[in-house]
Chain A
Amino acid sequence: MSGPRGTKLVARREPAPWVESLVGQLLALLASLLIALVAGALIVIAYGESPLVVYGAILRFSFGSRTGVGYVLAIATPLIFSALAVALCFKGGMFNIGVEGQYLVAMVTATWAALELDVLPGGLHVAVVLAFAMLGGMAWAAVPAILKVRTGAHEVVTTIMMNGIAISLLSWALNGPLRFTNAPEGQNVDLRSDPFPPTALVGDLGKLFGVSRGAHLSWLLLLGIALAVAVWFLIRRMRLGYEARAVGQAPGSARAGGISIGAVQIKLFLISGALAGLTGMQQILADRGYLPQNYVSQLGFTGIAVAFLGQNHPIGIVFAAILWAILARGESALQLETDVPREFVIILQGILIMTVVIVYQVTHRRLRRRELGRAAIGEQDAAEPAPVGAVG
């Protein structure tokens, strides 16, 4: 108990509210995972396969070898960035659906920096490339943010529009300013940028842990985890995060407390855009080493699902991203080792999201009811003598 007062009716020690909520959340997550796996098992059985074989294959692919783990973490890396971007806006009561567009634009700006600023020395160059990615994402997020605060245009609508523009912008850049210049003679190469100089690439992390280079596990994973902690700190320990939560949960009270809602929202959106900008870096700075036309898209939307799975908690998001990555990695397992189509993974992901919705709602309601019931009596019992007039 954090408070100075117990209640006479309470015999046993009560856990602190946040402990109770954390335990509740963990149990809820485990329960939803279990339910999703059981539902998935039924589908596998209906398909005529053994769930044990299927789940076994998925797990073996992820955890069977160091390289498997490396693959999973590499897949999780971009999802951490995009989910953090979504979650941060969400704390301020906004829905950033524009992570998708923000990271596409960021890939363009980062590619430019990678190719053009190659005079910079190794460590600095890659840092500048990452900074350009963040600036690109930020710039793309600034438009809906300003529109929202100045004109009231809803961010969901504007960010969707900005996503469309971002796709075209990337195509234009690949066909124009960023188009490769030194295609191998006589070869028909897909449209892409020139390969980046080695100074622009993010170093391999896997070799320290015996993960094969093929997994492309990079230092970006550590950056993602560090930023998750930073976002937690921002939300819980900094004024901006405090104001953001007030704005998100009770805008009227925030305003009456002197908080400028517009200023808070713009700041949040810009930081969210910067985080979003890092989403595409795994693929261009670690996986490929250039900006391809067949880039991996949809990471921004997947980030929404991952943020949700992590209940918008920065640390929860890291785990949610890994869980999501295990399933994504499972697609290859299914193709190689079973007759179950790879789409099963998508079904499983969908079921997981649904069970999380349901289980969290139920536990949340239960926790709140307990809390309210206890508080109602606890407070009247707490202080004995009527203190009116005793103070002042």
Chain B
Amino acid sequence: MRSDVGAGQEAAPPLVALERITKSFPGVLANDAVSLDVRAGEVHALIGENGAGKSTLMRVLYGMYPADAGRILVRGREVHIGSPRDAIALGIGMVHQHFVLVDPFTVTENVILGDEGGAILDLDRARERVAALAERYGFAVRPDAVVEDLSVGEEQRVEILKALFRGVDILILDEPTAVLTPGETTELFGNLRQLRADGKAIVFISHKLDEVLEIADRITVLRRGRVVGETTPERTSKAELAEMMVGRPVLFRLERPKVEPGPPVLRVDDLADGQALRGVSLEVRAGEIVGVAGVEGNGQRELAETIVGLRAPVRGSIRLGDAEIGGERVRDIRNAGVAYIPEDRHGQGLVLDMTLWENAVLGRQDDPPFAGRFGTLVIRAMRQLAERLVRTFDIRARGIGVAARTLSGGNQQKLILARELDTDPKLLVASQPTRGLDVGAIEFVWRRLLERKAAGRAVLLISAELDEIYALSDRILTLYEGRITGEYPPDAPPEEVGIGMLGGRRAAEAEP
């Protein structure tokens, strides 16, 4: 094992070298002569927009797709990787974005699944090995815990342990932080540093630039299936990386239009849903973006769902203008002028197997011009709407007849945004609107939200990303354990807001 990380790194032969890998799908060139090498004891970040070919490249390396051309060298020897099994045998492991764990099994059982050894299961020995591995790399996870009780961060650790258990020393992590809270990300980075110190090679796929700059030793940028540059965190900056990824300069701080707030559009008073919300009061005025910050799981999702009518309040009131909308049907609330960007865009936003034009009218199918006579739909109107939304929101798709499933996350979100904003709603409830999106798409979404404000509409922004809250909000509220624990101006220091996010002010604001 190497302990002197960094020293002599240049001289060491790469653990893995991909040479001019080309991979095309029918009609599409996903990787165009891409070369990449990863050395022992380094974290190599592979970044690029959605669809740039990062995942394809890694799937070629992991044996999931055969390459059309190019060579793969592992420890200097050319190899053929025909399946993930081959990859693992060569010491290459991959942790996918979506975990593949058996929920009712324990951590140990999951880790050894598929690699149990002989016919007789020696769980005690396996447990010891798992515990030893976990300890060695500082993974806080109990071998006997049942997976369904674990947090997302813990599940991810189990996935990584699965790979380590099989003796891999090249670990591919596909967007590992997309599902993690900031705290869990910090913990993951601690684990990764341990692995690096132990001489493992890590390929870190991401499009979160701050994280890449923090953890990576080297960074390779892909755009449209080609390598557009390789650099190190010392030699580059967030702005430069973003420009390499997107192909144009990207702004991380947008000009915020100055708007004099009008009358209150949304007034929530002492709202409780009997579960996560325990008396939330807030107000959003016309021409204002109010950001609700907080660690996830403190009632964010429930707050949004209760306002849009997906969840019934048990106490308190929700007023839109002068009308009480608390407990009304979703349809009526939508018709009253409330639009919703859900945090779960697959579960609450789109019907993935429906076409773009079918998704474009979801929620408006009963209204003219989409509703025809005798319960029919006016297909032409639906298609026209979709064509218009695709054009004005720059939704990149092969056509409006493709399934929503085939769009990238960014374009799916644009489709939802386009649909929800097309009716010019008085209030937009945006829940984690940029989760999982790449920088270009984030900027696009942000601009749209600021446009709402400029148009004198109200936006309630609920986000776990403090950056986002700061970039957009006119007022910042913190939500902790189902209550608003503080209100801050947009120039309040983040530390102060952080205290509110952890409920710090609650004592001071004494409950009535």
Contact = CB atoms under 8 A, between A and B. Distances in A.
B247 interface: yes
A360 to B, nearest CB: 15
B363 A258 contact: yes
B398 A375 contact: yes
Interface string A238-264: 111011011001101111111110000
Interface in B21-69: 25-30, 49-53, 56
Contacts of A5: 396-399
Given A252-B347, A256-B340, A379 B396 contact: yes
Given A250-B352, A383-B396, A376 B401 contact: no
B246 A374 contact: no
Contact of B331 (A12, A258, A391): A258
A245 B398 contact: no
Interface string B431-449: 0000000001001100110
Contact of A391 (B30, B358, B392, B401): B392
Interface string B324-358: 00000111001100001010101111111110001
B407 A242 contact: no
Contacts of B377: 237-239, 242
Q: Most A CB atoms within 10 A — which of B224, B329, B375, B406? A: B406
A388 B443 contact: yes
Interface of A is mostly: helix
A339 interface: no
Contact of B402 (A10, A17, A245, A250): A17
A208 interface: no
B27 A374 contact: yes
Contacts of A2: 399-401
B77 to A, nearest CB: 29
B398 A379 contact: yes
A377 interface: yes
B111 interface: no
B403 A371 contact: yes
B26 A370 contact: yes
A371 B224 contact: no
A13 B248 CA distance: 30
Contacts of A246: 351, 354, 362
A318 B363 CA distance: 33
A304 B247 CA distance: 53
B394 A387 contact: yes
Given A237-B379, A253-B347, A253-B351, A373 B26 contact: yes
A365 to B, nearest CB: 13
A374 B28 contact: yes
A391 B362 CA distance: 23
B160 to A, nearest CB: 26
B296 interface: no
A26 interface: no
Interface string B351-371: 111100010001101100001
A337 interface: no
A370 B25 contact: yes
Which of A256, A374, A375 has most B Cβ within 10 Å? Answer: A256
A67 B259 CA distance: 81
A299 to B, nearest CB: 29
A375 B375 contact: no
Given A256-B342, A380-B396, A386-B247, A237 B350 contact: no
A2 B365 CA distance: 22
Interface of A: 1-5, 7, 9-12, 14, 16-18, 237-240, 242-243, 245-246, 249-250, 252-260, 368-383, 386-389, 391-392
Given A378-B28, A378-B397, A380-B52, 9 more contacts: A3-B397, A3-B402, A242-B377, A254-B362, A373-B56, A374-B26, A376-B51, A379-B408, A382-B397
Closest 5 CB pairs of A and B: A3-B399, A373-B25, A379-B396, A258-B331, A375-B406
